[in-house]
Amino acid sequence: MTQSKSTHRSLVSLQLPRPVPKLVPYAQAVVAAMTNNPHFPTPLPALADVSAAITALQTAETSALSRLKGTVVVRNDRRASLVTLMQELRNYVQKTADADPENGAAIIQSSGFPVRKTPVPPPRVFSAKPGAVSGSVVVTAALAAKRASYEWQYSTDGGKTWIEAAPSLRARTTISNLPVASSVQLRYRPVTKAGPGDWSQPLAVVVK
């Protein structure tokens, strides 16, 4: 199945614990979750190989606690081997989730791996703030469309009359030469291929 542009891609988060006493149960939980899981009929690498690597690491960790010469090196090698298998298993789960993007998050969660949390930026809203130069205001509009221009107006008399500012191709502009230490009202409207939109509700800002 080809992933559509409108479908959010769910991502597998590995988040492997570094200490062996925490890594072992983490890996065991993933193996248990994927065993006989219909989403993963032929895991790659095989779960038996992952389980064997877990057991080998447990044995090596016990030996390393004795502090005998060479045991720590062996333990570290066993840990590296398990990490490699877990990374490969993560890739397998990701490919499986990518094949069914609408259910990707649920597929990943069923594997025992966590879903990577993707930060979602807050929607852009109409806002205004004093500009870097005295008598200027930086105005930001809500995005109207991928391709749109924006018309801007300001009023110095409480919205009784409106003065045109230069239009822009971006949803952000700077209006200059405004009366300092006064309250100015601002508004905008988007212009798309469908034509001009409605004027926004006025927004007041104190010019500095």
Neighbours of 29 (CB within 10 A): 13
- Of all residues in the chain, the percent with pLDDT exceeding 70 is 95
Distance CA 168, CA 188 (A): 11
**pLDDT of amino acid 13:** 86
CA–CA gap between residue 148 and residue 41 (Å, rounded): 48
- How many residues does this entry show for the chain? 208
Report pLDDT for 6.
45
How high is the pLDDT of residue 1? 38
First to last CA, the chain: 56
**pLDDT for the residue 146:** 84
- What's residue 7's pLDDT? 56
Give the pLDDT confidence score for residue 202 in this predicted structure. Answer: 95
- For the chain (208 residues), the mean pLDDT of every run of 10, in chain order, is 54 88 94 94 94 94 88 93 94 92 89 80 83 93 90 94 95 94 94 93 93
Domains of the chain as residue ranges with CATH: 20-110 (no CATH), 127-206 (2.60.40.10)
**pLDDT for position 171:** 93
